[in-house]
Amino acid sequence: MTPTRLHPNRASFQEPGYAATMKIHPHKPALVLPILALLAVLCATSGCSNFRVGGSGGSGTMSSESSSTLFKASLPTRAYTSKDANTADIYLTDLSDEDLTIFFQSETNWTSLSGSMVHIHLFLNPKPGKTPIESTAANATIRYIILVDGQIGVYDGAGFILPSKKIGKKTLAGTLRNAPAQLTRKTTGFSDLLGITRIDLSFSAKRNAPKADALADRLNALSSAAEPID
């Protein structure tokens, strides 16, 4: 079976109350996802005039274990922060500067937002030759949020990352492969097409605490707007 590739940035939006047709892959049938009413969440946070920061690249793929569905995203906005030499928080997103800038403005219509936000918490910096590396090892947690026409799905998982440089350097890069994850929070109108999934991520992010904090505010607001899965 040919994998279905979902590209939330390429969604074609219809009027509220109708379905939003997701453009899948050329020559593949379209996928229809429901839209509910307007989401409104007002938060107090710092503002940013330009979010486009990052290293040389960032991308993510979510592969369903129960179907051939793939979710792929390029993540051009990236920043990381660290409090010590052993931990780091990396944030990545494909939401536009405009979407991120107006995120908490009064009367903002979240139904116009589609994209993804990612938070990687590296809680142990592995030492080559000293830290055991096994297929089941984990030194990082990951929260991957999918946003489709204002509807939110929050996937949580864990995996192993071997950073390319010491934490605290100007740029931090790494790769996470085959990390298990599942949907833990969602809004009522979000359709989970992945189920149990595996996450592959690669990133290169510049150290920028103000940008990372601003992205964290937005990611936390999305998480808070979604209800826990029973």
Three-class secondary structure of residue 115 per DSSP: strand
Q: Quick one: pLDDT at residue 83?
A: 92
Separation of first and last alpha carbons in the chain = 32
What six digits make up the tokens of 104? 């908490």
- Beta strands 4-6 and 69-74, pairing class: parallel
Residue-wise pLDDT for 45-102, tens only, equals: 334 444 444 444 688 899 899 888 989 999 999 999 999 989 999 999 999 888 888 7
Mean pLDDT of 200-225: 94
Nearest-angstrom CA–CA distance, 203 and 122 = 13
Residue-wise pLDDT for 151-188, tens only, equals: 999 999 999 988 888 899 999 999 999 999 999 999 99
- 27 or 8, higher pLDDT: 8
Query: What is the pTM (predicted TM-score) of this model?
Result: 0.75
Q: Quick one: pLDDT at residue 187?
A: 95
Q: Quick one: pLDDT at residue 102?
A: 76
Q: Cβ of 76: how many Cβ atoms within 10 Å?
A: 17
pLDDT band at residue 135 using 50, 70 and 90 as cut-offs: low
Q: Quick one: which H or E segment has residue 176?
A: strand 171-186
29 has a pLDDT exceeding 50: no
Residue-wise pLDDT for 195-212, tens only, equals: 999 999 999 999 999 999
- The answer to whether the beta carbons of residues 127 and 75 sit under 8 Å apart is no
Domain boundaries defined on the chain: 4-41+51-228
**Which is nearest to 206 in space by CA: 56, 3, 47?**
56
Q: What does the mean pLDDT of the chain come to?
A: 76
